[in-house]
Amino acid sequence: MREKSVKTVNVIGLVGKILSIIAIVFTGLGMSGVLIATIAMHILPKSFLDVRINTGIKAIVDMSGFGDEVVNALNSDEFAEGLENGASFNGNDISMASVRIEGSKLYVDGETEITEINVRNIRIVLWLAVFSMAMAIVICVFVLRLSEAFRVCSTPFCNLVISRMNQLAICLIPWAIVTWIAEKVATSLMSNSVNLGVNVNFAFIGAVILLFGLVQIFKYGAVLQQEADETL
């Protein structure tokens, strides 16, 4: 029974090793393609590409609830002229196409630049992609090492399996942090805005906790097996 269980563990390790190698190869090919594109972007002059995406803005503001004094100020020529010179909202400059005032209501048509894509930003995003893929390959290598330990072990509760499982669990933490930072930087560069919000991936956190839990279970199993072997 014990030999059959160990053999099953060895087969699982073999399957994991094959899948890890496939993942490393395909991720490496993808990283090579992105790296070639990155080098190509460095050859191009910075002035080669400059894309600006604008969006239209239509606003209707009812100021009647603020009293006659505010409404009178709204109908002044100085207020309208000031808006026609432009405004700023959420860090973006807004150019006004037309300003129309009817009684206590203000009608504004304008546009603002929400995204600027240039060669420099694309270079940074591509380098971030290369770095993220390199980190993914490192994770796959740790999975490969763990799978190899399962493939050759005579018992899953050996020090080699426990050590490599612990290494994989530790490696997942900086990988998650680096990929989060890379995603935020890339999003900021391509959307022309800064977003520092934290998106909590509970599935990933659960996987890391589970992996650390398995490490402790395997350590306990190793102690029990050692005691059983000494008793025999």
Could you give the C-alpha distances from 155 to 9, 44, 218, in angstroms and in order? 8, 56, 11
Q: Indicate the pLDDT class of residue 90, thresholds 50, 70 and 90.
A: very low
Coil, helix or strand for 1? coil
Count CA within 13 A, CB hemisphere, residue 93: 5
Beta-bridged to residue 105, according to DSSP, are 62, 102
DSSP state of 195: -
Higher per-residue pLDDT: 65 or 174: 174
Beta-bridged to residue 117, according to DSSP, are 51
* Cα gap 229→171, rounded to integer Å: 33
Could you give the C-alpha distances from 119 to 48, 124, 162, in angstroms and in order? 7, 9, 47
Entry pTM: 0.66
- For 82, the token pair is 């000031």
For tokens 């807004």, what's the residue?
94
The string of pLDDT tens digits covering residues 194-232 is 555 556 667 777 888 888 888 888 888 877 777 776 666
* Cα gap 48→118, rounded to integer Å: 8
The string of pLDDT tens digits covering residues 14-65 is 999 999 999 999 999 999 999 998 888 888 776 666 666 556 666 676 666 6
CB 135 within 8 Å of CB 50: no
Coil, helix or strand for 156? coil
**pLDDT at res. 18:** 94
- For 214, the token pair is 């398995």
The string of pLDDT tens digits covering residues 105-141 is 767 666 655 556 677 788 888 888 999 899 999 999 9
CB 165 within 8 Å of CB 16: no
**pLDDT at res. 23:** 94
